[in-house]
Structure 1
Amino acid sequence: MDFSPFRIRSRLMVGALALGLAGALPFAAPLAPPAHAQQASGSIDAAVGALRGISTMRADFTQIDREGRRAAGTMTLKRPGKIRFDYGKDSDFLVVSNGKSLYVVDYEVRQVERYPIRRSPLGALLDPSRDVGKYGKLVPTLRDDVMSIEVRDPSRPEFGVITMIFVKNASAPGGWELNSWVALDAQNHRTTVRLSNHRYGLSVAESTFDFDDPRRTSRRPR
Protein backbone atom coordinates (compact mmCIF):
# COMPACT_ATOMS: atom_id res chain seq x y z
CA MET A 1 0.00 0.00 0.00
CA ASP A 2 1.18 3.49 -0.81
CA PHE A 3 1.17 5.41 2.48
CA SER A 4 2.12 8.77 0.99
CA PRO A 5 -1.42 10.24 1.31
CA PHE A 6 -1.34 9.28 4.96
CA ARG A 7 1.97 11.03 5.49
CA ILE A 8 0.14 14.18 4.52
CA ARG A 9 -3.05 13.38 6.38
CA SER A 10 -1.23 12.44 9.54
CA ARG A 11 -0.17 16.06 9.82
CA LEU A 12 -3.88 16.64 10.13
CA MET A 13 -3.99 14.13 12.97
CA VAL A 14 -1.17 16.10 14.55
CA GLY A 15 -2.58 19.55 14.05
CA ALA A 16 -6.22 18.81 14.75
CA LEU A 17 -6.19 15.69 16.85
CA ALA A 18 -5.33 11.98 17.48
CA LEU A 19 -6.82 8.76 19.21
CA GLY A 20 -9.92 6.44 19.73
CA LEU A 21 -11.98 3.24 20.40
CA ALA A 22 -14.88 1.24 19.01
CA GLY A 23 -16.52 -2.03 19.92
CA ALA A 24 -19.32 -4.16 18.60
CA LEU A 25 -21.37 -1.08 17.78
CA PRO A 26 -21.06 0.31 14.24
CA PHE A 27 -19.32 3.55 13.36
CA ALA A 28 -21.60 6.48 14.04
CA ALA A 29 -20.78 9.74 12.30
CA PRO A 30 -22.11 13.02 13.70
CA LEU A 31 -25.53 13.64 12.22
CA ALA A 32 -27.05 16.96 11.27
CA PRO A 33 -30.12 17.43 13.50
CA PRO A 34 -33.53 17.68 11.84
CA ALA A 35 -35.99 20.45 12.64
CA HIS A 36 -37.23 18.49 15.67
CA ALA A 37 -33.70 17.58 16.80
CA GLN A 38 -33.34 16.07 20.21
CA GLN A 39 -30.93 17.58 22.68
CA ALA A 40 -27.35 16.41 22.59
CA SER A 41 -26.77 13.11 24.38
CA GLY A 42 -24.31 12.85 27.24
CA SER A 43 -22.23 15.71 28.55
CA ILE A 44 -18.75 17.16 28.42
CA ASP A 45 -18.19 15.73 31.90
CA ALA A 46 -19.16 12.28 30.63
CA ALA A 47 -16.65 12.54 27.79
CA VAL A 48 -13.93 13.70 30.17
CA GLY A 49 -14.75 10.83 32.53
CA ALA A 50 -14.57 8.30 29.71
CA LEU A 51 -11.18 9.54 28.53
CA ARG A 52 -9.70 9.96 31.99
CA GLY A 53 -10.85 6.46 32.92
CA ILE A 54 -8.41 4.92 30.45
CA SER A 55 -5.03 4.10 31.98
CA THR A 56 -3.80 1.99 29.07
CA MET A 57 -5.58 0.86 25.95
CA ARG A 58 -4.84 -0.84 22.67
CA ALA A 59 -7.16 -0.90 19.66
CA ASP A 60 -7.09 -1.61 15.97
CA PHE A 61 -7.64 1.44 13.79
CA THR A 62 -8.62 2.24 10.24
CA GLN A 63 -7.67 5.65 8.87
CA ILE A 64 -9.58 7.05 5.89
CA ASP A 65 -8.81 10.24 4.02
CA ARG A 66 -11.27 12.42 2.09
CA GLU A 67 -10.56 10.49 -1.12
CA GLY A 68 -11.43 7.18 0.49
CA ARG A 69 -7.87 5.89 0.77
CA ARG A 70 -7.36 3.64 3.76
CA ALA A 71 -4.57 2.53 6.04
CA ALA A 72 -4.81 0.34 9.11
CA GLY A 73 -2.78 -0.60 12.14
CA THR A 74 -2.68 -0.69 15.91
CA MET A 75 -3.02 2.23 18.31
CA THR A 76 -1.56 2.04 21.82
CA LEU A 77 -2.39 4.61 24.50
CA LYS A 78 -0.89 5.14 27.94
CA ARG A 79 -1.63 7.94 30.35
CA PRO A 80 -0.39 10.53 30.68
CA GLY A 81 -0.14 11.67 27.10
CA LYS A 82 1.53 8.75 25.33
CA ILE A 83 0.21 7.29 22.09
CA ARG A 84 1.52 5.24 19.19
CA PHE A 85 -0.03 4.62 15.77
CA ASP A 86 1.75 1.62 14.28
CA TYR A 87 0.98 0.99 10.61
CA GLY A 88 2.62 -2.45 10.61
CA LYS A 89 6.07 -3.93 10.25
CA ASP A 90 6.14 -3.39 6.48
CA SER A 91 5.38 0.33 6.78
CA ASP A 92 8.05 3.02 6.78
CA PHE A 93 5.73 5.38 8.65
CA LEU A 94 5.05 5.90 12.36
CA VAL A 95 3.13 8.39 14.54
CA VAL A 96 4.12 8.45 18.22
CA SER A 97 3.83 10.74 21.24
CA ASN A 98 6.08 10.65 24.29
CA GLY A 99 3.65 12.74 26.35
CA LYS A 100 5.07 16.13 25.41
CA SER A 101 5.40 16.07 21.63
CA LEU A 102 3.88 14.12 18.78
CA TYR A 103 6.31 12.83 16.16
CA VAL A 104 5.53 11.91 12.56
CA VAL A 105 8.36 9.60 11.53
CA ASP A 106 8.96 8.81 7.86
CA TYR A 107 11.70 6.22 7.41
CA GLU A 108 11.46 6.27 3.63
CA VAL A 109 12.65 9.87 3.34
CA ARG A 110 14.41 9.88 6.76
CA GLN A 111 12.33 12.72 8.09
CA VAL A 112 10.91 13.45 11.55
CA GLU A 113 8.31 16.14 12.18
CA ARG A 114 7.63 17.23 15.74
CA TYR A 115 4.43 18.90 16.96
CA PRO A 116 3.69 20.16 20.49
CA ILE A 117 0.52 18.67 21.92
CA ARG A 118 0.09 20.89 24.96
CA ARG A 119 -2.09 23.53 23.32
CA SER A 120 -3.59 21.70 20.37
CA PRO A 121 -6.95 19.88 20.28
CA LEU A 122 -4.87 16.70 20.32
CA GLY A 123 -4.72 17.38 24.03
CA ALA A 124 -8.45 16.67 24.12
CA LEU A 125 -7.53 13.04 23.76
CA LEU A 126 -4.27 12.94 25.67
CA ASP A 127 -5.18 15.40 28.45
CA PRO A 128 -8.99 15.56 28.54
CA SER A 129 -9.15 17.14 31.99
CA ARG A 130 -7.82 20.35 30.44
CA ASP A 131 -8.80 20.61 26.80
CA VAL A 132 -12.20 18.94 26.40
CA GLY A 133 -13.76 21.15 29.05
CA LYS A 134 -12.17 24.29 27.68
CA TYR A 135 -12.60 23.80 23.94
CA GLY A 136 -15.32 21.16 23.58
CA LYS A 137 -19.03 21.41 22.87
CA LEU A 138 -21.76 18.83 22.46
CA VAL A 139 -23.16 18.27 18.97
CA PRO A 140 -26.73 16.93 18.67
CA THR A 141 -27.11 13.39 17.30
CA LEU A 142 -30.16 11.28 16.47
CA ARG A 143 -29.39 8.52 18.98
CA ASP A 144 -29.47 8.56 22.77
CA ASP A 145 -26.57 6.09 22.91
CA VAL A 146 -24.28 8.25 20.77
CA MET A 147 -22.42 11.31 22.04
CA SER A 148 -20.60 13.71 19.74
CA ILE A 149 -18.04 16.22 21.04
CA GLU A 150 -16.51 18.88 18.81
CA VAL A 151 -13.20 20.30 19.98
CA ARG A 152 -11.53 23.39 18.53
CA ASP A 153 -9.42 26.27 19.82
CA PRO A 154 -10.86 29.49 18.34
CA SER A 155 -7.60 31.29 19.00
CA ARG A 156 -5.60 28.70 17.02
CA PRO A 157 -7.57 27.87 13.86
CA GLU A 158 -4.46 26.30 12.32
CA PHE A 159 -4.95 23.37 14.70
CA GLY A 160 -8.23 22.50 12.98
CA VAL A 161 -11.18 20.66 14.52
CA ILE A 162 -11.61 17.18 15.95
CA THR A 163 -15.06 15.63 16.45
CA MET A 164 -15.03 12.64 18.79
CA ILE A 165 -17.85 10.09 18.66
CA PHE A 166 -18.67 8.06 21.77
CA VAL A 167 -21.14 5.21 22.14
CA LYS A 168 -22.63 3.90 25.38
CA ASN A 169 -20.87 0.77 26.56
CA ALA A 170 -21.20 -0.40 30.15
CA SER A 171 -17.88 -2.23 29.98
CA ALA A 172 -15.92 0.86 28.89
CA PRO A 173 -14.37 3.34 31.35
CA GLY A 174 -17.01 5.87 32.35
CA GLY A 175 -19.72 3.94 30.52
CA TRP A 176 -18.92 5.64 27.17
CA GLU A 177 -16.51 4.30 24.59
CA LEU A 178 -14.72 6.45 22.05
CA ASN A 179 -15.88 4.95 18.77
CA SER A 180 -14.13 7.16 16.23
CA TRP A 181 -13.10 10.68 15.43
CA VAL A 182 -13.10 12.99 12.44
CA ALA A 183 -10.35 15.58 12.06
CA LEU A 184 -10.63 18.60 9.79
CA ASP A 185 -7.63 20.80 9.19
CA ALA A 186 -7.49 24.48 8.27
CA GLN A 187 -7.52 23.53 4.56
CA ASN A 188 -10.69 21.43 5.00
CA HIS A 189 -8.83 18.16 4.57
CA ARG A 190 -10.79 15.51 6.42
CA THR A 191 -9.45 12.35 8.04
CA THR A 192 -11.62 9.76 9.78
CA VAL A 193 -10.21 7.27 12.28
CA ARG A 194 -12.34 4.33 13.40
CA LEU A 195 -11.34 1.92 16.15
CA SER A 196 -12.22 -1.64 17.05
CA ASN A 197 -11.15 -4.53 19.25
CA HIS A 198 -10.42 -2.34 22.27
CA ARG A 199 -8.36 -3.79 25.12
CA TYR A 200 -8.11 -1.87 28.40
CA GLY A 201 -5.74 -2.08 31.33
CA LEU A 202 -2.88 -3.77 29.51
CA SER A 203 0.72 -3.68 30.66
CA VAL A 204 2.42 -1.26 28.26
CA ALA A 205 6.18 -0.67 28.45
CA GLU A 206 7.50 2.88 28.28
CA SER A 207 9.72 1.78 25.38
CA THR A 208 6.57 1.41 23.26
CA PHE A 209 6.72 5.18 22.74
CA ASP A 210 10.37 5.32 21.70
CA PHE A 211 11.45 5.27 18.08
CA ASP A 212 14.63 4.98 16.05
CA ASP A 213 15.44 8.37 14.54
CA PRO A 214 15.87 7.88 10.77
CA ARG A 215 18.07 10.96 10.59
CA ARG A 216 20.67 8.93 12.45
CA THR A 217 19.81 5.39 11.33
CA SER A 218 18.14 3.65 8.44
CA ARG A 219 16.33 1.21 10.71
CA ARG A 220 12.59 0.92 10.44
CA PRO A 221 10.23 1.43 13.40
CA ARG A 222 10.32 -1.23 16.05
Structure 2
Amino acid sequence: MVFRSIVPLAPLALIAAAPAAVPAAAQASDLATVQRHLQGITTMTADFTQADRNGKVLTGTLTWKQPGNIRFQYEKGVPLLIVAEGGALTFVDYSVRQVQRWPIRNSPLGVLLDPKRDIAGFAKMVPGDGRLVSVEARDPKHPEYGVITLVFARNPAAPAGLSLQGWVALDSQNNRTTIRLSNQRYGAPVAANAFRWTDPRRTARN
Protein backbone atom coordinates (compact mmCIF):
# COMPACT_ATOMS: atom_id res chain seq x y z
CA MET A 1 0.00 0.00 0.00
CA VAL A 2 1.33 3.42 -0.96
CA PHE A 3 -0.03 5.70 1.75
CA ARG A 4 3.33 7.43 2.32
CA SER A 5 3.65 11.02 1.22
CA ILE A 6 0.54 10.77 -0.85
CA VAL A 7 -2.24 10.81 1.72
CA PRO A 8 -3.31 14.04 3.43
CA LEU A 9 -2.63 14.52 7.21
CA ALA A 10 -2.92 17.11 10.07
CA PRO A 11 -0.71 19.41 12.10
CA LEU A 12 1.51 17.55 14.54
CA ALA A 13 1.46 20.61 16.76
CA LEU A 14 -2.24 20.00 17.38
CA ILE A 15 -1.52 16.65 18.99
CA ALA A 16 0.57 17.74 21.95
CA ALA A 17 -0.26 14.84 24.21
CA ALA A 18 -0.28 15.31 27.95
CA PRO A 19 1.18 12.57 30.13
CA ALA A 20 -2.08 11.82 31.91
CA ALA A 21 -4.50 9.32 30.40
CA VAL A 22 -7.98 10.38 29.35
CA PRO A 23 -10.53 9.30 32.00
CA ALA A 24 -12.71 6.44 30.79
CA ALA A 25 -15.97 8.40 31.02
CA ALA A 26 -14.55 11.38 29.11
CA GLN A 27 -13.03 9.05 26.52
CA ALA A 28 -16.34 7.31 25.88
CA SER A 29 -18.15 10.64 25.66
CA ASP A 30 -15.71 12.16 23.18
CA LEU A 31 -15.58 9.00 21.05
CA ALA A 32 -19.37 9.06 20.88
CA THR A 33 -19.23 12.70 19.78
CA VAL A 34 -16.73 11.85 17.04
CA GLN A 35 -19.02 9.03 15.90
CA ARG A 36 -21.97 11.45 15.74
CA HIS A 37 -19.84 13.92 13.79
CA LEU A 38 -18.91 11.32 11.16
CA GLN A 39 -22.51 10.17 10.92
CA GLY A 40 -23.78 13.75 10.73
CA ILE A 41 -21.71 14.77 7.71
CA THR A 42 -23.48 14.75 4.38
CA THR A 43 -20.82 16.70 2.47
CA MET A 44 -17.70 18.70 3.28
CA THR A 45 -15.30 20.68 1.15
CA ALA A 46 -12.02 22.19 2.33
CA ASP A 47 -8.58 23.32 1.28
CA PHE A 48 -5.75 21.04 2.36
CA THR A 49 -2.01 21.26 2.90
CA GLN A 50 -0.13 17.98 2.85
CA ALA A 51 3.36 17.45 4.27
CA ASP A 52 5.44 14.28 4.27
CA ARG A 53 8.28 13.33 6.61
CA ASN A 54 10.83 14.82 4.20
CA GLY A 55 9.20 18.22 4.40
CA LYS A 56 7.64 18.17 0.93
CA VAL A 57 4.45 20.24 0.94
CA LEU A 58 1.57 20.05 -1.52
CA THR A 59 -1.78 21.84 -1.50
CA GLY A 60 -5.17 21.22 -3.03
CA THR A 61 -8.90 20.92 -2.44
CA LEU A 62 -10.83 18.19 -0.66
CA THR A 63 -14.35 17.09 -1.57
CA TRP A 64 -16.05 14.59 0.76
CA LYS A 65 -19.50 13.06 0.49
CA GLN A 66 -20.82 10.39 2.81
CA PRO A 67 -20.92 7.51 2.65
CA GLY A 68 -17.59 6.50 1.16
CA ASN A 69 -16.68 9.25 -1.31
CA ILE A 70 -13.68 11.57 -1.11
CA ARG A 71 -11.46 13.37 -3.62
CA PHE A 72 -8.07 15.02 -3.10
CA GLN A 73 -7.56 17.34 -6.05
CA TYR A 74 -3.96 18.58 -5.97
CA GLU A 75 -2.78 22.01 -7.02
CA LYS A 76 -2.21 22.77 -10.68
CA GLY A 77 0.99 21.16 -11.94
CA VAL A 78 0.88 18.20 -9.52
CA PRO A 79 -0.05 15.09 -11.56
CA LEU A 80 -1.55 13.16 -8.63
CA LEU A 81 -5.12 12.35 -7.70
CA ILE A 82 -6.68 10.37 -4.84
CA VAL A 83 -10.32 9.34 -5.10
CA ALA A 84 -12.47 7.05 -2.97
CA GLU A 85 -15.69 5.71 -4.47
CA GLY A 86 -17.49 2.42 -4.78
CA GLY A 87 -15.66 0.92 -1.81
CA ALA A 88 -12.21 1.43 -3.35
CA LEU A 89 -9.47 3.98 -2.79
CA THR A 90 -7.67 4.92 -6.01
CA PHE A 91 -4.28 6.62 -6.34
CA VAL A 92 -3.51 7.98 -9.80
CA ASP A 93 -0.12 9.27 -10.93
CA TYR A 94 -0.66 10.83 -14.34
CA SER A 95 3.05 11.50 -14.85
CA VAL A 96 3.77 7.77 -15.18
CA ARG A 97 0.22 6.64 -16.12
CA GLN A 98 -0.02 4.49 -13.01
CA VAL A 99 -3.18 3.54 -11.11
CA GLN A 100 -3.30 1.72 -7.77
CA ARG A 101 -6.52 0.62 -6.08
CA TRP A 102 -7.27 -1.09 -2.77
CA PRO A 103 -10.32 -1.48 -0.50
CA ILE A 104 -11.09 1.66 1.50
CA ARG A 105 -11.36 -0.45 4.65
CA ASN A 106 -7.68 -1.40 4.26
CA SER A 107 -6.50 2.22 4.48
CA PRO A 108 -6.32 4.77 7.31
CA LEU A 109 -9.05 6.79 5.57
CA GLY A 110 -11.50 3.96 6.19
CA VAL A 111 -12.33 5.44 9.59
CA LEU A 112 -13.65 8.60 7.89
CA LEU A 113 -15.51 6.97 5.04
CA ASP A 114 -17.61 4.35 6.83
CA PRO A 115 -19.87 6.30 9.22
CA LYS A 116 -21.75 3.13 10.26
CA ARG A 117 -18.61 1.52 11.65
CA ASP A 118 -18.44 1.64 15.45
CA ILE A 119 -15.13 3.37 16.18
CA ALA A 120 -15.19 2.44 19.87
CA GLY A 121 -13.67 -0.94 19.05
CA PHE A 122 -10.53 0.38 17.36
CA ALA A 123 -10.07 4.03 18.39
CA LYS A 124 -8.94 5.83 21.53
CA MET A 125 -8.69 9.44 22.64
CA VAL A 126 -5.31 11.18 22.65
CA PRO A 127 -4.94 13.53 25.66
CA GLY A 128 -3.91 17.12 24.99
CA ASP A 129 -5.33 20.60 24.43
CA GLY A 130 -8.89 20.76 25.81
CA ARG A 131 -10.02 22.88 22.86
CA LEU A 132 -9.30 19.94 20.57
CA VAL A 133 -10.44 16.34 20.29
CA SER A 134 -7.78 13.94 18.99
CA VAL A 135 -8.57 10.33 18.14
CA GLU A 136 -6.08 7.62 17.23
CA ALA A 137 -7.49 4.76 15.17
CA ARG A 138 -5.85 1.46 14.25
CA ASP A 139 -7.05 -2.04 13.49
CA PRO A 140 -5.29 -4.35 16.00
CA LYS A 141 -5.96 -7.32 13.73
CA HIS A 142 -4.36 -5.59 10.74
CA PRO A 143 -1.34 -3.45 11.72
CA GLU A 144 -0.43 -3.27 8.03
CA TYR A 145 -3.36 -0.89 7.53
CA GLY A 146 -1.47 1.79 9.46
CA VAL A 147 -2.53 4.31 12.11
CA ILE A 148 -4.42 7.55 11.68
CA THR A 149 -4.80 10.31 14.28
CA LEU A 150 -7.74 12.62 13.58
CA VAL A 151 -7.78 16.12 15.06
CA PHE A 152 -11.03 18.03 15.61
CA ALA A 153 -11.68 21.53 16.95
CA ARG A 154 -14.74 22.15 19.06
CA ASN A 155 -17.13 24.20 16.91
CA PRO A 156 -20.83 24.52 17.76
CA ALA A 157 -21.67 25.34 14.12
CA ALA A 158 -20.23 22.05 12.79
CA PRO A 159 -21.83 18.56 12.88
CA ALA A 160 -21.97 17.29 16.51
CA GLY A 161 -20.04 20.39 17.57
CA LEU A 162 -16.75 19.28 15.98
CA SER A 163 -14.83 20.46 12.93
CA LEU A 164 -12.17 18.21 11.41
CA GLN A 165 -8.84 20.06 11.32
CA GLY A 166 -6.78 17.33 9.69
CA TRP A 167 -4.99 14.10 10.46
CA VAL A 168 -1.66 12.34 10.73
CA ALA A 169 -1.28 8.98 8.97
CA LEU A 170 1.49 6.53 9.73
CA ASP A 171 1.85 3.46 7.53
CA SER A 172 3.42 0.12 8.43
CA GLN A 173 6.80 1.35 7.10
CA ASN A 174 6.71 4.38 9.45
CA ASN A 175 6.07 6.81 6.60
CA ARG A 176 4.25 9.79 8.07
CA THR A 177 1.93 12.16 6.23
CA THR A 178 0.27 15.21 7.76
CA ILE A 179 -2.84 16.94 6.44
CA ARG A 180 -4.06 20.35 7.58
CA LEU A 181 -7.54 21.50 6.56
CA SER A 182 -8.87 25.03 6.23
CA ASN A 183 -12.01 26.74 4.90
CA GLN A 184 -14.16 23.75 5.86
CA ARG A 185 -17.68 23.99 4.46
CA TYR A 186 -20.40 21.53 5.46
CA GLY A 187 -23.61 20.55 3.67
CA ALA A 188 -22.97 22.21 0.30
CA PRO A 189 -24.22 20.39 -2.84
CA VAL A 190 -21.64 18.12 -4.46
CA ALA A 191 -22.01 17.13 -8.11
CA ALA A 192 -22.77 13.50 -8.88
CA ASN A 193 -19.67 13.27 -11.08
CA ALA A 194 -17.30 14.79 -8.50
CA PHE A 195 -15.64 11.43 -7.83
CA ARG A 196 -15.09 10.33 -11.40
CA TRP A 197 -11.55 10.19 -12.72
CA THR A 198 -9.77 9.71 -16.03
CA ASP A 199 -7.78 6.50 -16.34
CA PRO A 200 -4.36 7.41 -17.82
CA ARG A 201 -3.82 3.81 -18.92
CA ARG A 202 -6.64 4.12 -21.43
CA THR A 203 -5.22 7.29 -22.97
CA ALA A 204 -1.85 5.55 -23.18
CA ARG A 205 -3.34 2.85 -25.40
CA ASN A 206 -5.03 5.33 -27.73
TM-score, normalised relative to structure 1: 0.82
**SS of corresponding position for 2:5:** helix
Give the counterpart of 1:178 among 157, 164, 186.
Answer: 164
Distance 1:131 1:62 in 2: 29
Distance 1:113 1:167 in 2: 33
Residues 1-222 of structure 1: matches in 2 within 5 Å? 8-10=4-6, 13=7, 28-34=13-19, 39=23, 43-130=30-117, 132-141=119-128, 143-217=129-203
TM-score, normalised relative to structure 2: 0.88
Cα shift readout 1:138-159 (whole Å, capped 9, x = no counterpart):
1111x22211100000111111
Structure 2: 5+ residue stretches without partners: none
Structure 1: 5+ residue stretches without partners: 1-5, 21-25
How many aligned positions are there? 200
Aligned to 1:3: none
C-alpha contact (below 8 Å) 1:183/1:192 kept by paired residues:
yes
Offset at 1:7? 8.3
Alpha-carbon RMSD across the aligned residues, in angstroms, is: 2.3
Distance 1:91 1:181 in 2: 21
Distance 1:71 1:177 in 2: 22
**SS of corresponding position for 1:44:** helix
Distance 2:116 2:135 in 1: 14
Distance 2:21 2:147 in 1: 23
